[in-house]
Amino acid sequence: MDDILQRIATCIERGKVNATSPYPPDLKGQDGAHELTKAALEMGVSPSEVLAQGLVVGMNSIGRKFSENKVFVPDLLMASKAMQAAMVHLKPFFESGEAKHRGTFIIGTVQGDLHDIGKNLVSMVMEGGGWEVIDLGVDVSTEKFLDALKSHPGSAVGLSALLTTTMVNMEKTVAAVRTQHPDTKIIVGGAPLTAEYAKKIGADAYAPDPQGALDYLVGAVA
């Protein structure tokens, strides 16, 4: 059992989606995240174990290498493709309540900003870390963040911005969330941001990379 979970983790870290996927070349022809996850569940491994010891381990490993500049965006994207292929098999168990998320994370690119690559990378790593992700998309108004918090009380919130002309819109959203939901953890990130800026606008944390967001929330909430 440990062996198959380890193999799932490896497939996710290496971005091996399924048996027919040609990537990565050295795993060509072998089972991928899709087949192994299915097999593990059929063997009777609990969905929670598949999540915690397979998916989370694999995504955590690639997320950490990404923070250390040892791998890059394409590697993280391939890993998340493999993670999604595994997640398909776990979804019914989340819906039935047999498997539980670690928490709920609401994320969006702030008002006026249409960039989504950074936001998507954080979503992938959070989902791979066992969190339910509510992705509000791009150009998200303060009202939309507040509405999402109403529908998903107790969630953490992530705000993304790529432009210096839109990062200034984060402050308004942070202030509104603080006022209406004082206990909410708020993380901000994006190319022009710094820890200093995050602090000045009243966010709880600045995440320099996706794993940073996950690590902060695991520490803050768990």
Which window, 44-52, 55-63, 67-75, 99-107, contacts another protein (CB under 8 A)?
A: 67-75
From the list 28, 70, 91, 150, which residue makes contact with another protein (rule: CB under 8 A)? 70
Torsions phi, psi for 109 (to 5 deg): -85, 135
Residues 127, 59: Cα–Cα separation, whole Å: 9
Site string for another protein, 121-160 (x = CB under 8 A): ------------------x---------------------
Residue 97, Cβ density class (10 Å: 0-12 exposed, 13-18 middle, ≥19 buried): exposed
CB of 154 to another protein, least distance (A): 29
Task: Check binding of 113 to another protein (CB under 8 A).
Answer: yes
Task: Check binding of 167 to another protein (CB under 8 A).
Answer: yes
Q: Of 160, 171, 168, 165, give the one whose Cα is nearest residue 203.
A: 171
Task: Check binding of 52 to another protein (CB under 8 A).
Answer: no
Task: Check binding of 74 to another protein (CB under 8 A).
Answer: yes
Q: Of 175, 177, 213, 219, give the one whose Cα is nearest residue 193.
A: 213
Q: Of 187, 184, 108, give the one whose Cα is nearest residue 142.
A: 108
Residues 69, 130: Cα–Cα separation, whole Å: 23
Read off the tokens for 188: 């901000």
Task: Check binding of 217 to another protein (CB under 8 A).
Answer: no
Smaller CB distance to another protein: residue 56 or 110? Answer: 110
Residues in contact with 21: Cβ distance below 8 Å, sequence separation at least 6, in sequence order = 32
Residues 17, 27: Cα–Cα separation, whole Å: 10
Smaller CB distance to another protein: residue 55 or 161? Answer: 161
Task: Check binding of 115 to another protein (CB under 8 A).
Answer: yes
CB of 68 to another protein, least distance (A): 9
Residues in contact with 175: Cβ distance below 8 Å, sequence separation at least 6, in sequence order = 202
Task: Check binding of 16 to another protein (CB under 8 A).
Answer: no
From the list 20, 151, 180, 194, which residue makes contact with another protein (rule: CB under 8 A)? 194
Task: Check binding of 51 to another protein (CB under 8 A).
Answer: no
Task: Check binding of 202 to another protein (CB under 8 A).
Answer: no
Instruction: Give me the residues that bind another protein (CB under 8 A), please.
Output: 69-75, 77, 111-117, 139, 163-169, 171, 191-192, 194, 196-197, 200-201
